[in-house]
Chains A and B, each alone.
Chain A
Amino acid sequence: MTRIKLALALAVVALGVSVSAGLAATSSGTPGVTAKSITIGGTFPLTGPASLYSDIPKAENAYFQYVNAHGGVNGRKINFLIEDDAYNPAQTVPQTQKLVQQSKVFADYGSLGTAPTLSTRDYLNKLGVPQVLVATGDSYWGAQYKKYPWTIGFQPDYPGEGVIYGRFIRNKVPQAKIGVLIQDDAYGQNYYAGLLKGLGPAKSQIVDVEKYAATQTDVSQQVVKLKSSGANVFALFALPTQTIDALAVATHIGWKPVTFINNVSNNPLFLYLAQKSGADVQNDISTTYLYDIYNNPKSATTKLLASILNQYDKGWNQLDGNNIYGLASAWTMVQALKNAGNPPTRAGLMKALTNLNEVNPFLFTGIKMQTSAGERFPIEQESLEQYKGSTWVPFGRVYTKVK
């Protein structure tokens, strides 16, 4: 009978272990909100292929720390939980379930990447958990709000950015012969559709469109083809790695068209890397919507930004524009939390985010964040910028997305 005793002992041990694991904290009222704190969380690629973006949650957390040190939001301190999903939806789903079911977050905030965020959109909307200010420029977040009312994006969408390039080429580059390089997926198509829309009748001036698969990092063949097509305008809608490669190859084969680099790949850090691989990026054109710290090193905003990051995100890289992105996004979240009621509610947060009318200090000067119940793109304005010397220099006016 010792065997049965052993079995019983095992079962008792197993039960004991599981009891201790199962003692979850109970909460009342709105999840994640107490008299002293608001708990929010998001999923980010701290490891894996997209870990270049891991500076974003760090900068966001720095801003929340700064706000907490100055009294928090209506007396509540923001507790920001950062979960690593390695840019892999298979990990985004359980990490998000953990945030919602175990950590009981008030909202899923700032989660990064199109595929990861798409994977949790149904789950969060079913439970009525706000999925807010997601860090991706696809148009799903703003466009599909009827089906997914708890989801909202942040940055300008890709088609809108494509339109700006198209209109600029049509108006300012009269003899344009346009060569396009796009990633062969929804991301590339989004940009290309915007470009066509912006070009209007001038789309007949497109002489060649080359595509590459997202997993392909060498795009030299495509660049060579674009050059031989006789193009004098190069619209480059790629991811950072391929953009750096394309810029270097173009210079090596002696091709210097009027080059447009999409916003996703225009981080000053990437341009620096491209130049290190021999690319001539002078006078290349892109867009921006973030505050320009590079040409305003002495401004109050730059000083505030630097003091926050110096204090709460030590070792931040000045060249990395993601830090400004993080502050701009966190600023928006704090503003929305302030307007989400006292104590804040989830419905109140969505209401605040769909009634934005704010000038965000960490966004490009002149941009206004505006949303309404039926207009769910927080940032719809961008400025063109040109690479001069060792930095981007904004020029012209602020463009507003064409509806």
Chain B
Amino acid sequence: MRAPTALRFTVVGAVALAIALMPFVLSDYNRSQGARVAVFFIAILGLNIVTGYTGQISIGHGAFMALGGYTTAILTHSHGWSTLPTLPVAAAVGFGAGIVVGLPALRFHGVYLALTTFAVALAVPQLATNYSHFTGGVEGLPLPSHTGIWLYGLGWSVAAVMFVLSWLLLRGRTGRAFRAVRDSEVAAASSGVSLAVHKTLAFGVSAAIAAVAGSVYVLVNAFVNPDIFGLTLSLYILIGAVVGGLGSLWGVLVGACFVQLLPIGISNSHTVSAQSVPVIFGAMVILVMALLPRGAAEALFWATELPKRIRRVHSSSTPQRLEAQ
């Protein structure tokens, strides 16, 4: 148990180091691409808490990103705030909205809940369109522009903070309660886990993180309007979460790279027409689902687990216990 955990931390440390060193060798454009990966990283992390750990499907996380993005945009543009203090406010707004959206989750399950969140994703950009004196409407609001290195630094610093906070939350009592709710609501309730508290809490935390992702997103764009929070955004977050691995934090980076960099990589290869890019991307999603149904986290699990098992088989003949992920 200790060895793979230590190995995991080493891998995480190495990846963190690589991410920290990356901007020094990237072009300014690629740094802002790196910041976009961070945006998806944070959003997928958020979705994973409610969908992966608590078992409640949301296809509306783009709406929480929109709330966070508009919070940052309105505070900086119309009220003269500087950028960074808007992030905690965005998180608070997201948390509140998440709690409200989480309330129906107490009644709705599965596809019904998914459709509820879908409705939220449809409604929020429309509200931003309608209240144009406040949000700038379709013409949008400009934000101060920043250099690629600043955006990269901000995006990944926020991502690191969110990752550590999520990890701390999920490894303890609350995380256990979330997983218990996911695995069996009846069993969780009979063990004294409050369904109402934990379901809404999961939604709140998840939405708060997504809102922060939205803040970083509008800063990378240096612009906000309702159209940048379209439905495809919510779906890409969900795809990223599944590709990364639901119910595990270790694959989030892979999920974020998959949804942000893969389509760009395919179209940059110039070997296929623009019309084929969505088709190839879709085919890759299906391929990942078929080969790694539990996402990149599963691949990572086996990569760290296999050497250990081989060692065990060689060193002793005692039967081994399959560890639950």
Contacts and interface: CB of A to CB of B under 8 A. Distances in A.
A and B part of one assembly: yes
Interface in B252-309: 264, 267, 274-275, 277-278
| Interface range for A | 35 or more
Given A46-B274, A90-B233, A22 B25 contact: yes
B29 A24 contact: yes
A165 B230 CA distance: 35
B26 interface: yes
A22 B27 contact: yes
A271 B216 CA distance: 45
A88 interface: yes
B30 A119 contact: no
Contact of B26 (A22, A119, A186): A22
A355 B28 CA distance: 35
Interface in A1-42: 3-4, 6-8, 10-11, 14-15, 18-19, 21-22, 24
A331 to B, nearest CB: 25
A384 to B, nearest CB: 30
B275 A46 contact: yes
B86 interface: no
Contacts of B227: 88-90, 115-116, 119
A118 B139 contact: yes
B145 A90 contact: no
A225 interface: no
B201 to A, nearest CB: 30
A109 B15 CA distance: 40
Given A47-B275, A90-B233, A122 B223 contact: yes
A6 B14 contact: yes
Interface stretch (B5-13, B53-61, B91-99, B238-246): B5-13
A126 interface: yes
Interface string B117-143: 000000000000000000000111010
Contact of A122 (B22, B36, B222, B232): B222
Nearest to B17: A11
A118 B140 contact: yes
Contacts of B138: 114-115, 118, 185-186
A369 to B, nearest CB: 26
Nearest to B129: A185
A140 B275 CA distance: 31
Contacts of A185: 138
B156 interface: no
A118 B7 CA distance: 48
Contacts of A98: 29
A97 B29 CA distance: 7
A122 B142 contact: yes
A90 B139 contact: no
Contact of B230 (A84, A90, A126, A140): A90
Most chain A CB inside 10 Å of its own CB: which residue of B10, B11, B27, B274: B274
A93 interface: yes
Given A14-B18, A84-B277, A126 B145 contact: yes
B22 A7 contact: no
A288 B213 CA distance: 46
B83 interface: no
B47 to A, nearest CB: 17
B248 interface: no
A102 interface: yes
B21 interface: yes
Interface string B26-46: 111110110010000000000
B229 interface: yes
A21 B26 contact: yes
B150 to A, nearest CB: 14
A47 B6 contact: no
A342 interface: no
A118 B25 CA distance: 32
A101 interface: yes
Interface string B135-160: 00011101001001000000000000
Contacts of B21: 11, 14-15, 18
Contacts of A22: 25-27, 30
B115 interface: no
Given A3-B6, A115-B138, A89 B225 contact: yes
A185 B148 CA distance: 35
B188 interface: no
A97 B145 CA distance: 12
A168 interface: no
B24 to A, nearest CB: 9
B174 interface: no
Contacts of B274: 46-47, 82, 84
Nearest to B6: A3
Contact of A18 (B26, B28, B277): B26
A230 interface: no
Contact of B139 (A8, A14, A120, A140): A140
Given A93-B223, A93-B228, A122-B142, A10 B18 contact: yes
A46 B140 CA distance: 24
Contact of B229 (A7, A90, A118, A126): A90
B277 to A, nearest CB: 7
Closest 6 pairs between A and B when the two form their complex, measured CB to CB: A14-B18, A101-B29, A24-B27, A7-B14, A122-B142, A89-B227
Interface of B: 6-7, 10-11, 13-15, 17-18, 21-22, 25-30, 32-33, 36, 138-140, 142, 145, 148, 221-223, 225, 227-230, 232-233, 264, 267, 274-275, 277-278
Given A18-B21, A18-B25, A123-B145, 11 more contacts: A3-B7, A4-B10, A8-B14, A14-B22, A24-B29, A47-B275, A94-B32, A101-B27, A101-B29, A115-B227, A126-B145
19 contacts: A6-B10, A7-B17, A14-B14, A18-B21, A18-B26, A22-B27, A47-B274, A47-B275, A89-B225, A89-B227, A90-B232, A93-B223, A93-B228, A115-B225, A123-B223, A126-B142, A126-B145, A140-B139, A186-B138
